[in-house]
Amino acid sequence: MKLTFIPVPWRRASLALFLVCFLACLAQIGRCQRGPDSGTYVADVAPSIHFFEIAPRFGYVRGTPAARDEEANTDLLPDLPQPQPPVVPDPTANPASNALAGPIIALNLFAVRPPPFHPANTMWQQPKPDSISIQEQAPAQPNDDIQPLDPSYSVIDENGDFGSLSVFGVNVVDAQASLERLMPRSVDLDAREVPIVDPTAPNYRINVGPYNWRGLLAQSLFFNVVENTFRAASDDQIRLMLAKKPFWHDYFASTKQFNMRRWNDGDDFLVNYVGHPLQGSVADFIFIQNDPVGRQLEIGSDPAYWKSRFHAFIWSAIYSTHSEIGFLGEAGIGNEGGWTYPIKCRTPGCPQWHPGWHYTNNTGWVDFTITPTVGFLWMLAEDTLDRFVSDHFQGGDRFNLGLAFMRGALNPSRTFANLMRFQLPWYRDFQHDPELENSLLIHPQPSDEQIAEAGRFRRFAIAPFYHTMPMGSPAQPCTMCFSNGGFGVTFDYALTRWLAADFSATSQPGLLQNSTTPIGTTTAGSTSTFGSGLRFMHDGPINNISFVVRPTIVTSHIEMPLVLDERHNTFVHPQIDNERAAVTLLFSNDYKLSKTVAIRTSIADTIVRYKSPIEDPPGIGKPPFLTWLSKDEYTNKSNWSAETGPVIRF
């Protein structure tokens, strides 16, 4: 039978019954407690359970006859537990018996409290076991440390549950209320929140901090990588140039051919007047979301709002200029300006080309101008929709996903900017108070050692390593032969806790590729590499995992066959050095032995570029296909390697 078939009242009654049984068991457990020694006899009382009761409670402990003379006033307080007379330890009794002689202090969350005091039920008026012998002792001295219970508090405390349900001495109503207070509050999805901050209030003030320049650069670089990845995935010409053409030569050749004597660059309306303004608006919001003042403001007459948006416009102009002419922009990735194509013809080779058609190298003023200016207007339009439409419908209810999706859909460029900082599409800074929200979470207090260790940020690292090639090399291919063993060293300088500048140098015997010389083909020689790049890190308590992108120069020291040195009348091996460009992709794991020493294990792929004998036709070509790019073509070879060695941080 499914749970959904049980009526709701029955389910609630079952839950209440379970709670009653659970509390009754607790009461029965407390009732069954006994002293560990026969010399001290604890009264058989039925305790009642009181939540959040942290106060001394005096148990009924057998004492001396002198203690019995002091009687409590049961006429005034007939239903209250009375403070017990002082207990004088028995010197002739077992020491373990005196361990329980004294007040029993209950400081737990669930304090066990005896029932109302009745002289007829006290243990010294009960029949005593034959095994217990009582020795008369001297009268005890009054104990001034015992403080009587507050009568006003105790009467209310004991008589406040009249008319409620009790099972085995357990007040079910009070127990249920106490448990509800212990349970965490559930989220009411239908509730309407009160906004944490009101940017339109005249007394609204912002705790201004420093501008997050690191976040701006990191998020802008991430945005640039996403753009270039989409362009390379959708354009086979870009993939071909990246794989087979010399990057730096073609980049500088492309920048020299920018035609700034015209407005249009040949792209259609959707690209120039929709796509590029969207790019400019995303750059605006990336700047704003790293501004501690601007990200808290909504559109209005506040001068601080317009100041922050003007600064964002300046950054958008800088970003769009880099996106056009920078080496990570369209001039470097795709070589915009370095070659021409017909505007109306999309077919490769364009067999229907007509001399009257226009051709372009995809340069002009349109992208430099439209991207920041129309992007700025786009940003203002999204701010307007966010305040007067999204705020109107959503209000303070941030838990309604339908309204949250609507807020994100009405602000596409802000949504994309949020993704660059790994936030939800509908996230708004002015709806959140980080200090307040962090205060609602549980943060374990770090120890003094952890605080001191966090303050010691070790930026420098040196890592000597042993280098080998488990798959061989193109010159000597093999499988799990671990050839070309060599040594190297890596230096790291941590810029942040997740990013470091990386420098590496290696030397190994053998060549990566067969080398053709005037005498013939040789494989004798050695190889050395030097490169620098970026290391992306994730530092954990035991392991430090990192990924490295490192442009590298590979130098082959080719050893020629023996020739006669007529000057010295001896045979020598002439040596020729050959340099090639490469890029190294490396994944490594540092297993920490201590705070400063670790063992690093890495696997890397060094992709080396070799010049191909095939070249493009000479000249710049004929319209509409003109090119100022290099005629050389290259092929790429992968060289897998493994590295291991110690890492020392300081």
Give the CATH number for residue 458: 2.40.160.20
**Cross-strand pairs, 360:** 341
135: number of Cβ within 10 Å: 10
Q: Are strands 621-622 and 570-572 parallel, antiparallel or unpaired?
A: unpaired
Percent of the chain scoring above 70 in pLDDT: 63
pLDDT (average), residues 43-71:
42
- Extended beta strands in 66-186, E state: 105-106, 110-113, 166-167, 170-171
Res. 311 pLDDT band, cuts 50 70 90? very high
| Predicted pLDDT at 192 | 45
Whether residue 455 is predicted with pLDDT greater than 70 in this model: the reply is: no
State the residue for tokens 């026969």.
Answer: 38
Residue numbers of the domain that contains 494: 451-649
Residues 141 and 235 in one domain: no
- Single out the residue of 375, 492, 421, 415 nearest to residue 221, CA to CA: 421
Q: Is residue 617 part of a domain?
A: yes
Whether residue 500 is predicted with pLDDT greater than 60 in this model: the reply is: yes
| DSSP symbol at 258 | -
Q: For residues 238 and 336, is the Cβ–Cβ distance under 8 A?
A: no
Residues 601 and 578 in one domain: yes
Res. 161 pLDDT band, cuts 50 70 90? very low
Whether residue 126 is predicted with pLDDT greater than 50 in this model: the reply is: no
Alpha-carbon dihedral sign for residues 280, 281, 283, 288: positive
Top mean pLDDT of 134-143, 257-266, 316-325 is at 316-325
Domain end call among 159, 182, 205: 182
| Predicted pLDDT at 557 | 83
CA angle, 571 then 574 then 579, to 5°:
170
Residues 434 and 503 in one domain: no
pLDDT (average), residues 248-270:
92
The 10s digit of each residue's pLDDT in 10-30 is: 666 666 777 777 776 665 555
pLDDT (average), residues 524-536:
90
Top mean pLDDT of 79-93, 136-150, 480-494, 635-649 is at 635-649
Q: How far is CA 271 from CA 35, 296, 374, in A?
A: 87, 32, 13
Q: For residues 49 and 110, is the Cβ–Cβ distance under 8 A?
A: yes
Q: Is residue 192 part of a domain?
A: no
Residues 435 and 508 in one domain: no
Asked which of 182-196, 259-273, 359-373, 540-554 is least confident by mean pLDDT, the reply is: 182-196
Pick 116 or 489 by higher pLDDT.
489
Whether residue 298 is predicted with pLDDT greater than 70 in this model: the reply is: yes
Q: Is residue 244 part of a domain?
A: yes
Q: Is residue 198 part of a domain?
A: no
Instruction: Tell me the C-alpha distance between 283 and 285, whole Å.
Output: 6
Q: Is residue 464 part of a domain?
A: yes
Residues 300 and 226 in one domain: yes
State the residue for tokens 């030397």.
Answer: 507
170-179: long-range contacts at Cβ-Cβ below 8 A with a sequence spacing of 24 or more?
Answer: 170/20, 170/23, 170/24, 170/26, 170/27, 170/48, 170/49, 171/48, 172/16, 172/19, 172/20, 172/23, 174/51, 175/19, 175/23, 175/49, 175/51, 176/16, 176/19, 178/51, 178/52, 179/19
> Burial, 448: exposed, middle or buried (Cβ in 10 Å; 0-12, 13-18, 19+)?
exposed
pLDDT (average), residues 286-304:
93
* Number of domains, the chain: 3
Q: What is the DSSP string of 557-622?
A: EEEPPPEEETTTTEEE--EEEEEEEEEEEEEEEEEESSSSEEEEEEEEEEEEEEEEEEEPPSS-EE
End-to-end CA distance of the chain: 65
Residues 178 and 79 in one domain: yes
Residues 353 and 417 in one domain: yes
Helix (H) or strand (E) holding 324: helix 303-325
Instruction: Tell me the C-alpha distance between 580 and 459, whole Å.
Output: 31
162-168: long-range contacts at Cβ-Cβ below 8 A with a sequence spacing of 24 or more?
Answer: 167/20, 167/23, 167/24, 168/24, 168/27, 168/28, 168/46
Pick 540 or 99 by higher pLDDT.
540
Residues 419 and 538 in one domain: no
Pick 347 or 19 by higher pLDDT.
19
pLDDT (average), residues 554-567:
79
Pick 126 or 428 by higher pLDDT.
428
Helix (H) or strand (E) holding 243: helix 236-244
- Single-letter code of the amino acid located at 82: Q
Asked which of 40-44, 298-302, 320-324, 566-570 is least confident by mean pLDDT, the reply is: 40-44
| Predicted pLDDT at 255 | 94
| Predicted pLDDT at 204 | 55
579: number of Cβ within 10 Å: 9
Q: For residues 171 and 165, is the Cβ–Cβ distance under 8 A?
A: yes
Whether residue 493 is predicted with pLDDT greater than 90 in this model: the reply is: yes
- Single out the residue of 306, 307, 310, 289 nearest to residue 429, CA to CA: 289
Q: Is 212 left (phi over 0), alpha (psi -120 to 50) or beta?
A: beta
Q: Is residue 372 part of a domain?
A: yes
Instruction: Tell me the C-alpha distance between 324 and 77, whole Å.
Output: 91
Q: How far is CA 413 from CA 18, 113, 328, in A?
A: 54, 64, 21
643: number of Cβ within 10 Å: 22
Q: Is residue 196 part of a domain?
A: no
Residues 403 and 456 in one domain: no
pLDDT (average), residues 495-508:
91
Residue 251, token pair as written in the block: 């980049």
Top mean pLDDT of 28-42, 518-532, 609-623 is at 609-623
Give the contacts of 192 (CB within 8 A, at least 6 positions apart). Answer: 395, 396, 397
Mean pLDDT, the chain, rounded, equals: 76
Whether residue 582 is predicted with pLDDT greater than 60 in this model: the reply is: yes
Pick 226 or 618 by higher pLDDT.
226
Domain end call among 385, 414, 439: 439
SS3 640: strand
- Single out the residue of 274, 262, 252 nearest to residue 364, CA to CA: 262
- Single out the residue of 592, 640, 597 nearest to residue 463, CA to CA: 597
pTM of the model: 0.61
The 10s digit of each residue's pLDDT in 348-407 is: 667 777 777 888 999 999 999 999 999 999 999 999 999 999 999 988 787 888 999 999
Residues 423 and 283 in one domain: yes
Residues 468 and 506 in one domain: yes
Residues 532 and 432 in one domain: no
Whether residue 268 is predicted with pLDDT greater than 80 in this model: the reply is: yes
Q: Is residue 203 part of a domain?
A: no
Res. 320 pLDDT band, cuts 50 70 90? very high
Domain end call among 134, 167, 182: 182
Q: For residues 534 and 548, is the Cβ–Cβ distance under 8 A?
A: yes
